[in-house]
Structures are given as C-alpha cells and as structure tokens.
Structure 1
Amino acid sequence: MRITQGTFSFLPELTDDEIAKQAAYALDRGWPCSVEFTDDPHPRNSYWEMWGLPMFDLTDPAGVLYEVKECRKAYPDHYIRLNAYDARYGRQTTALQFIVQRPRREPGFRLDREETSDRRVRYTLHAYALDRPEGERYGDAP
C-alpha cells in the first residue's frame, strides 16, 4: 500500500531534479522550506520529526536538496517530506508539502470496525508498521 499524503502523492516518485525544481518554485515565492521525517505516517500524525531548523534564510534550491539528501543518509528506511511555508497570513501555513522518500516496503493500514451502543459503528485506522518497535518498523522482515 502506498501512503498518499501531500501534493504529488498520486504521482510517481519525484527525481532529485524535480524536487529541486519544486524547492525553487517555493523559494521564488518567498516560502521557506523544511525537511521532516517519521516512521509513523498515520494520517493524524501531522507532527513529524524535524531535520534541523526551517531554512528561513536559504534562497538556493541546491541547499534544500542537500538537506533532503543528508536526511536520507541518516534515515534510509523512514518517510521524509519537504514542506514550504507561506507566512503571508501571519502564522505558519503550509503552502506546499510532499513526500521525497519512502521506505522500501510500505505495509499499509487496516480499518478496524467497532460496534457500539445504539447500533453505532466506529472505525479506526491501524498502521501495520506499528506492530513492530520504533526504528524497526520498515525493515526487511514481513
């Protein structure tokens, strides 16, 4: 199962050149970029770990791509995404966000159904990856 979050999530993986072009697009509009990573991409997990600080003073997309590559080296089996922020509204507003790396194997999610009182039904998502401990969720084991 392929996790679909952010812009471009239904497209094939972006190449480094395409990532640099998207970073240039963001920087040309004055949107600072940041890199984040996680091994729990649950849809409600909106707070991923930050790779360094947001790059507020960066104007060259090569610098953004450098940070993406360094994060990939440090976390080869994690999800990594690139964010661009638009500060025009006076608060942190995500203008562009997309995944730039995925683990080799994405186990996906299970939909759990629970019947409650008065015939009400509740659904929750359970990530199969969470059945394994943090740091081992996307290894080669089944």
Structure 2
Amino acid sequence: MHITQGQFSFLPALTDEQIKRQVKWALDHEWAVSVEYTDDPHPRNTYWEMHGHPMFDLRDPAGVMEEITACRLAFPSHYIRVMAFDSSEGWETPRMSFIVNRPDHEPGFRVERQEGPGRSLRYTVRSYAVERPEGQRY
C-alpha cells in the first residue's frame, strides 16, 4: 500500500533534484514553504507537525532542502511533506503539497462499517498504524 496524498502521489518517489525544482517553482511564485511530518497520515489529518519555521522570505531552494534533510534525519520513519502557501490575497492558501519521505513499510488503511438507526450504514477509514502508540507506529 502506498499513501496517495498531495501532488505527485501516483508517481514514483521524487529525487532530491526533482524536489529542489518543485521548491524553486514555488519560490519563484513567491509562495511561503514549510516542511511538515507525521506518523498518522489519515486523509483527514491535515495538521501535521511543522519542522522548523515557515520560510516566508526564502528565495533559494537550498534552504528548504536543508530543512528537509534535517527533518529526514530527525524523523526517518515518518511521512514528511513540503507545503507551499500563497499569501498574495492577504490570507494563506495552500498551493502545493507533496510527500518527500515515507516509512519503509506503509501498513495502509481499513474500511470500518458502522450500522446506525434505521439500518443506515456509515463507513470510516482507519489506519493500521494507529493501533500502536504515537512514536512507535513505524
């Protein structure tokens, strides 16, 4: 199972050179870039932990690459993504999001069925990873 979130998620993993080119493209558009990580990649978990500070005034992709490297060293078994935000209208709008690091083993998700009143059915998605405590999932 391969988690598919953000841009490029159906493609093979990006190389560092490809990541650098995508970051440069975002910086050329004057978007703020941040690096985030999590060990719970549930699709509704949109608030990942931020590694370092958002890079608002950065114009060189080397700074973002250094932050990605530091995050990979600190959290080698976590999902790590790059986010780019556009603040040109006075509010932050995510314009770009893609995963740059994954755990060696991705256990995937299961669909849980719940019966409700009147024989109604609800389905929810649950990650196999959350069966273990935070910090021990991968």
The TM-score range, normalised by the shorter chain, is: over 0.9
User: Deviations 1:13-53 (Å, cap 9, x if unpaired)?
Assistant: 00000000000000000011000000001011000000011
Q: Distance in 2 between matches of 1:42 and 1:90?
A: 29
Q: Distance in 2 between matches of 1:96 and 1:25?
A: 10
TM-score, L = length of structure 1: 0.95
Q: Which letter maps to 1:121?
A: L
What is the SS of the residue equivalent to 2:88? helix
**Residue in structure 2 matched with residue 21 of structure 1 by the alignment:** 21
User: Deviations 1:92-117 (Å, cap 9, x if unpaired)?
Assistant: 10001100000000000000001111
Q: Where do 5+ consecutive residues of structure 2 fail to align? A: none
**% of aligned pairs identical?**
59
What is the SS of the residue equivalent to 1:20? helix
Describe how 1:50-129 pairs up with structure 2 within 5 A: 50-129=50-129
Taking only aligned residues, the RMSD between alpha carbons, in angstroms, comes to 0.7
Structure 1 segments of 4 or more deviating over 2 A?
Answer: none
User: Deviations 1:112-134 (Å, cap 9, x if unpaired)?
Assistant: 00111112100111110001111
Paired residue total:
138
Cα distance, 1:90 vs structure 2: 1.7
What is the SS of the residue equivalent to 2:129? helix
Cα distance, 1:89 vs structure 2: 2.5
Q: Distance in 1 between matches of 2:92 and 2:5?
A: 19
